[in-house]
Amino acid sequence: MTLIAIAEQALNGLIISTFYALIALGIALIFGVLRIVNFAHGELYMLGGYACYMAVTLLGLPPVFGVVFAVILLMAAGMAIERTLIRPIHAGKVDRPDEYAIMITFALSVLLLNLANSVFGPWPQRPRPIFRGIVEFGELIIPGDRLAAASVGALLIAGLMLVLRFTWMGKAVRAVSQDRQAAETFGINITRTSMLAFGAGAALAGAAGALIGPVFNVVPPMGIVPAIKAYIVVVLGGLGSIPGAVVGALILGQVESFATILIPDTTRALAYKDAYGLAVLILVLLVRPQGLFGKRERRA
Contact positions vs another protein (CB under 8 A): 31, 36-37, 39, 85, 88, 94-96, 98-104, 106-115, 117-118, 122, 221, 224, 228, 231-232, 235, 239, 268, 271-272, 274-275, 278-279, 281-282, 285-286, 289, 299-300
Measured from the CB atom, is 148 or 281 closer to another protein?
A: 281
Quote the least distance from Cβ 72 to another protein, whole Å.
Answer: 24
Quote the least distance from Cβ 119 to another protein, whole Å.
Answer: 9
Nearest to 240, CA basis, from 17, 19, 38: 38
CA angle 198, 274, 24 (to 5 degrees): 20
Measured from the CB atom, is 76 or 85 closer to another protein?
A: 85
Instruction: Give Cα separations from 182 to 87, 226, 295 (angstroms).
Output: 19, 35, 16
Q: Which residues are bridge partners to 218 per DSSP?
A: 125
Q: What backbone torsions phi and psi does residue 229 show, to the nearest 5 degrees?
A: -60, -40
Measured from the CB atom, is 37 or 149 closer to another protein?
A: 37
Q: Which residues are bridge partners to 143 per DSSP?
A: 134
Nearest to 285, CA basis, from 6, 126, 20, 277: 277
Measured from the CB atom, is 64 or 261 closer to another protein?
A: 261
3-class secondary structure for 44-113?
A: HHHHHHHHHHHHHHHCCCCHHHHHHHHHHHHHHHHHHHHHHHHHHHHCCCCCCHHHHHHHHHHHHHHHHH
Measured from the CB atom, is 139 or 274 closer to another protein?
A: 274
Quote the least distance from Cβ 114 to another protein, whole Å.
Answer: 4
**Cα 253 versus chain centre, distance:** 14
**Cα 116 versus chain centre, distance:** 19
Quote the least distance from Cβ 103 to another protein, whole Å.
Answer: 6
**H/E run at residue 147:** helix 144-166
Measured from the CB atom, is 127 or 240 closer to another protein?
A: 240
Measured from the CB atom, is 77 or 108 closer to another protein?
A: 108
Quote the least distance from Cβ 52 to another protein, whole Å.
Answer: 21
Quote the least distance from Cβ 125 to another protein, whole Å.
Answer: 16
Quote the least distance from Cβ 15 to another protein, whole Å.
Answer: 23
